Amino acid sequence: MLETSGKSVSQIERELGIGKGNLGRWKGKYGTNSEQTESGSSDQALAQERIRELERENEILRQERDILKKAVAIFSQPKQ
Protein backbone atom coordinates (compact mmCIF):
# COMPACT_ATOMS: atom_id res chain seq x y z
CA MET A 1 0.00 0.00 0.00
CA LEU A 2 2.86 2.34 0.87
CA GLU A 3 4.61 1.75 -2.43
CA THR A 4 1.55 1.88 -4.67
CA SER A 5 -0.89 4.36 -3.11
CA GLY A 6 1.26 7.48 -3.33
CA LYS A 7 0.21 8.43 0.20
CA SER A 8 2.64 9.48 2.89
CA VAL A 9 3.80 7.12 5.60
CA SER A 10 2.07 9.12 8.33
CA GLN A 11 -1.20 9.25 6.36
CA ILE A 12 -1.24 5.47 5.90
CA GLU A 13 -0.36 4.95 9.56
CA ARG A 14 -3.33 7.10 10.59
CA GLU A 15 -5.71 5.32 8.18
CA LEU A 16 -4.66 1.86 9.37
CA GLY A 17 -4.36 2.77 13.04
CA ILE A 18 -0.69 1.83 13.14
CA GLY A 19 1.55 3.48 15.73
CA LYS A 20 3.63 6.42 14.55
CA GLY A 21 6.94 5.30 13.06
CA ASN A 22 6.04 1.61 12.81
CA LEU A 23 5.34 1.63 9.09
CA GLY A 24 8.68 3.25 8.33
CA ARG A 25 10.49 0.71 10.49
CA TRP A 26 8.63 -2.17 8.85
CA LYS A 27 9.46 -0.83 5.42
CA GLY A 28 13.12 -0.62 6.38
CA LYS A 29 13.11 -4.13 7.77
CA TYR A 30 10.82 -5.92 5.31
CA GLY A 31 10.88 -3.61 2.29
CA THR A 32 11.28 -4.95 -1.23
CA ASN A 33 14.53 -3.24 -2.17
CA SER A 34 17.15 -5.50 -3.70
CA GLU A 35 19.65 -5.37 -0.84
CA GLN A 36 17.16 -6.71 1.65
CA THR A 37 15.75 -9.22 -0.79
CA GLU A 38 19.22 -10.63 -1.44
CA SER A 39 20.07 -10.88 2.25
CA GLY A 40 16.66 -12.36 2.99
CA SER A 41 17.05 -15.04 0.35
CA SER A 42 20.59 -15.67 1.55
CA ASP A 43 19.35 -16.13 5.11
CA GLN A 44 16.61 -18.41 3.85
CA ALA A 45 19.10 -20.48 1.86
CA LEU A 46 21.30 -20.83 4.94
CA ALA A 47 18.30 -21.87 7.02
CA GLN A 48 17.27 -24.45 4.39
CA GLU A 49 20.82 -25.86 4.30
CA ARG A 50 20.86 -26.11 8.10
CA ILE A 51 17.53 -27.95 8.02
CA ARG A 52 18.91 -30.43 5.47
CA GLU A 53 21.99 -31.03 7.65
CA LEU A 54 19.84 -31.63 10.72
CA GLU A 55 17.55 -34.00 8.80
CA ARG A 56 20.58 -36.03 7.64
CA GLU A 57 21.95 -36.13 11.18
CA ASN A 58 18.53 -37.14 12.48
CA GLU A 59 18.33 -40.02 10.01
CA ILE A 60 21.79 -41.29 11.02
CA LEU A 61 20.83 -41.13 14.69
CA ARG A 62 17.64 -43.11 13.98
CA GLN A 63 19.64 -45.78 12.18
CA GLU A 64 22.14 -45.99 15.05
CA ARG A 65 19.30 -46.26 17.56
CA ASP A 66 17.65 -49.05 15.58
CA ILE A 67 20.95 -50.96 15.39
CA LEU A 68 21.40 -50.65 19.14
CA LYS A 69 17.83 -51.82 19.78
CA LYS A 70 18.47 -54.92 17.64
CA ALA A 71 21.76 -55.57 19.43
CA VAL A 72 20.08 -55.34 22.83
CA ALA A 73 17.37 -57.73 21.67
CA ILE A 74 19.96 -60.23 20.43
CA PHE A 75 22.15 -60.07 23.54
CA SER A 76 19.22 -60.18 25.98
CA GLN A 77 17.91 -63.47 24.63
CA PRO A 78 18.54 -66.40 26.99
CA LYS A 79 21.46 -68.57 25.97
CA GLN A 80 20.49 -72.02 24.76
Domain that holds residue 62: 41-80
> Do 47 and 73 belong together in one domain?
yes
> Do 30 and 45 belong together in one domain?
no
* Inter-helix orientation angle 22-30/9-16, to 10°: 110
Q: What is the pLDDT of residues 33-80, one digit of tens each?
A: 545 455 567 888 899 999 999 999 999 999 999 999 999 999 998 887
Distance in angstroms (rounded) separating the CA atoms of residues 42 and 20: 31
Which amino acid, one-letter code, is at 14?
R
User: In this structure, are residues 2 and 12 in contact, taking their beta carbons and an 8 Å threshold?
Assistant: yes
Q: What is the pLDDT of residues 6-34, one digit of tens each?
A: 888 888 888 888 888 888 888 888 776 54
Neighbours of 47 (CB within 10 A): 10
> Do 80 and 46 belong together in one domain?
yes
Neighbours of 23 (CB within 10 A): 19
